[in-house]
Structure 1
Amino acid sequence: MNIRLENMSPAVNLTRRQATGPVRTQHPVWHDLLPPCNDACPAGEDIQGWLALAQAGKYEAAWRRLVTDNPFPAIHGRVCYYPCETACNRGSLDSAVSVHAVERFIGDQALEHGWYVTPAPPTGKRVLIVGAGPCGLSAAWHLALRGHSVEIHEAGPVAGGMLHFGVPAYRLPRDVLDHEIGRLESLGIRIVLNRKVEDVLSEKSTGRFDAVLLAIGAQVARHIDIPARDAARVLDAVTLLRAAGTGERPQLGRRVMVYGGGNTAMDAARTARRLGAEEAVIVYYRDREHMGALPFEAAEALEEGVRIQWLSSIRDVDGTSVRVEKMRLDGDGRAQPTGEYETLEADSLILALGQQTDTGFLRNIQGIGFAADGTVIVGEDFQTGYAGIFAGGDMTPANRTVTTATGHGKRAARHIDAWLGGTSLIRSERHAIVGFDALHLPLYSDAIPSTQSALPVGERGGFEEVIGGLDEGQALHESRRCLSCGNCYECDNCYAACPTQAIERLGPTRGYQVRLERCTGCAVCFDQCPCHAIDMVPETDAVAAPAVEVPR
Structure 2
Amino acid sequence: WLPKKEKMVYTSGRALHPLSINLASKLQTDFKGKLDLTFSAGVDAFNVTETLACNLTPITVCSDLLKPGGYLRLIQYLEKLKKNIIANGAKSIEEFIKANDQNNSSFISASLNNLNKYAESVLENKTYHKSNFPYENIKTQRELTDYDCIKAPCIKTCAIEQNVPEYMYHTSNGDYEKAFKVILKDNPLPNITGNVCDHLCQSKCTRINYDNPLLIRGIKRFVSEKYEDSLNLIPNKKNGFKVAIIGAGPAGLTCAYFLALEGFKVNIYESISFAGGMVSGFIPIFRLTDKQIKDDIRLIEQIGVSLHYNKKVDNDFFSELKQKNDFIFIGIGASLSKKLEIPGEDLDKVFNQLSFLSNVRSGKNIKVGKNIGIIGAGLSAVDAARTANRIKDSGGKITMIYRRTKKEMPVGDDEIKVVIDEGIELLELTAPLSISRNDGNLNLKCIKMELGEKDESGRGRPIPVDNTEFDLTFDTIITAIGQDISYDFIDEKSIKINQKTFETQIPNVFAGGDVLRGADSLINAMGDGKKVAEEIINRSKKVLKIVPDEQTKKLSLEEFQKIQAYREFGGDLPEISLDKRNGFEMVHPVLDEATAQKEAARCLFCEDVCNICVGVCPNFSNVSFEVEKTELPVWQINKNGNNLSFKQVDTFVVKQGNQILNIGDFCNECGNCDTFCPTNGAPYKTKPHFYLTEESFNSEKLGYYLTNNSLKFKKAGNSECLTLSNGAMIYESDEVVVNIKHNDFTISDIKFKSDKIKEINLNHAVEMIFLFQNLKNNPLFK
TM bracket (short chain): 0.7 to 0.9
* Cα offsets for 1:111-155 (capped at 9, x unmatched): 2x3334221121121111111100011111111111111111101
Give 1:327's aligned amino acid.
M
Distance 1:220 1:230 in 2: 15
CA displacement at 1:397 relative to structure 2: 2.6
Distance 1:512 1:315 in 2: 62
Give 2:483's aligned amino acid.
Q
Distance 2:348 2:294 in 1: 36
Give 1:344's aligned amino acid.
L
Larger relative CO (CA 8 A, sep 6+): 1 or 2? 1
Q: Find 2:573's aligned residue among 452, 462, 468.
A: 452
Give 2:769's aligned amino acid.
A
Where 1:256 maps in the other structure, the secondary structure is strand
1:478 and 2:599 matched: yes
Distance 1:152 1:76 in 2: 21
Q: What residue in structure 1 maps to residue 475 of structure 2?
A: 347
Distance 1:218 1:53 in 2: 37
Q: What residue in structure 2 maps to residue 295 of structure 1?
A: 413
CA displacement at 1:305 relative to structure 2: 2.6
1:330 and 2:447 matched: no
Q: What residue in structure 2 maps to residue 517 of structure 1?
A: none
Q: What is the correspondence of 1:209-220 to structure 2 with a 5 Å cutoff?
A: 209-220=325-336
Distance 2:277 2:286 in 1: 17
Contact 1:323 1:341 in 2 (8 A): yes
Q: What is the correspondence of 1:147-546 to structure 2 with a 5 Å cutoff?
A: 147-199=263-315, 200-205=317-322, 208-228=324-344, 231=347, 233-277=349-393, 278-319=396-437, 320-330=442-452, 332=454, 333-338=460-465, 339-363=467-491, 368-369=494-495, 376-397=496-517, 400-421=520-541, 444-456=565-577, 462-485=583-606, 487-488=608-609, 540=722, 541-543=768-770
Q: Specify the structure having the higher radius of gyration (Cα).
A: 2
Higher helix share: 2
Residues 30, 108 of structure 1: alpha-carbon distance in 2 compared, 3 angstrom cutoff = farther
Residues 192, 382 of structure 1: alpha-carbon distance in 2 compared, 3 angstrom cutoff = same
Give 2:536's aligned amino acid.
I
CA displacement at 1:326 relative to structure 2: 1.6
Q: What residue in structure 2 maps to residue 526 of structure 1?
A: none
CA displacement at 1:378 relative to structure 2: 3.8
Distance 1:377 1:251 in 2: 44
Residues 323, 414 of structure 1: alpha-carbon distance in 2 compared, 3 angstrom cutoff = same
Distance 2:656 2:505 in 1: 47
Give 1:324's aligned amino acid.
C
CA displacement at 1:442 relative to structure 2: 8.9
1:139 and 2:255 matched: yes
Q: What residue in structure 1 maps to residue 195 of structure 2?
A: 78
Residues 232, 314 of structure 1: alpha-carbon distance in 2 compared, 3 angstrom cutoff = farther
CA displacement at 1:279 relative to structure 2: 2.3
Which runs of 5 or more residues in structure 1 are unaligned?
12-28, 370-375, 425-438, 491-501, 515-522, 524-530
Contact 1:378 1:396 in 2 (8 A): no
Q: What residue in structure 1 maps to residue 152 of structure 2?
A: 35
Where 1:314 maps in the other structure, the secondary structure is strand
Contact 1:282 1:306 in 2 (8 A): yes
* Cα offsets for 1:248-297 (capped at 9, x unmatched): 22332332111001111110111112233532211111111111222221
CA displacement at 1:422 relative to structure 2: 8.9
Contact 1:85 1:98 in 2 (8 A): yes
Distance 2:427 2:288 in 1: 27
Residues 226, 186 of structure 1: alpha-carbon distance in 2 compared, 3 angstrom cutoff = same
Residues 327, 475 of structure 1: alpha-carbon distance in 2 compared, 3 angstrom cutoff = same
Q: What residue in structure 2 maps to residue 118 of structure 1?
A: 234
Give 1:464's aligned amino acid.
E
CA displacement at 1:310 relative to structure 2: 1.0
Q: What is the correspondence of 1:17-56 to structure 2 with a 5 Å cutoff?
A: 31=148, 33-56=150-173
Give 1:310's aligned amino acid.
E
Q: What residue in structure 1 maps to residue 39 of structure 2?
A: none
TM-score under structure 1 length normalisation: 0.78
Distance 1:257 1:299 in 2: 19
CA displacement at 1:448 relative to structure 2: 2.1
Contact 1:33 1:486 in 2 (8 A): yes
Contact 2:497 2:510 in 1 (8 A): no
Contact 1:232 1:346 in 2 (8 A): no
Contact 2:429 2:449 in 1 (8 A): yes
Distance 1:174 1:288 in 2: 31
Give 2:448's aligned amino acid.
K
CA displacement at 1:54 relative to structure 2: 2.4
Matched pairs, number: 480
Q: Find 2:179's aligned residue among 62, 86, 93.
A: 62
Where 1:228 maps in the other structure, the secondary structure is coil
Residues 31, 377 of structure 1: alpha-carbon distance in 2 compared, 3 angstrom cutoff = closer
Contact 1:228 1:317 in 2 (8 A): yes
Residues 60, 311 of structure 1: alpha-carbon distance in 2 compared, 3 angstrom cutoff = same
Where 1:362 maps in the other structure, the secondary structure is coil
Distance 1:387 1:505 in 2: 45
Where 2:182 maps in the other structure, the secondary structure is helix
Q: Find 2:220's aligned residue among 103, 106, 109.
A: 103
* Cα offsets for 1:447-503 (capped at 9, x unmatched): 12032211246877732211122112211111121122252499xxxxxxxxxxx98
Distance 1:115 1:350 in 2: 42
CA displacement at 1:59 relative to structure 2: 1.8
Contact 2:248 2:270 in 1 (8 A): yes
Contact 2:242 2:326 in 1 (8 A): yes
Contact 1:204 1:210 in 2 (8 A): no
* Cα offsets for 1:393-432 (capped at 9, x unmatched): 01103670001111111111111122234999xxxxxxxx
TM-score under structure 2 length normalisation: 0.56
CA displacement at 1:110 relative to structure 2: 2.5
Distance 1:296 1:137 in 2: 27
Give 1:480's aligned amino acid.
A
Residues 505, 286 of structure 1: alpha-carbon distance in 2 compared, 3 angstrom cutoff = closer
CA displacement at 1:76 relative to structure 2: 0.8
Give 2:451's aligned amino acid.
L
Distance 1:182 1:442 in 2: 40
Give % identity. 26
Which runs of 5 or more residues in structure 2 are unaligned?
1-44, 49-63, 73-145, 455-459, 545-559, 612-624, 630-654, 660-665, 667-676, 691-703, 705-710, 712-721, 723-767, 777-782
Distance 1:546 1:317 in 2: 73
Where 1:335 maps in the other structure, the secondary structure is strand
Give 1:377's aligned amino acid.
I
Residues 31, 545 of structure 1: alpha-carbon distance in 2 compared, 3 angstrom cutoff = same
Mean alpha-carbon deviation: is it higher for 209-218 or for 339-348?
A: 339-348
Distance 2:172 2:656 in 1: 18
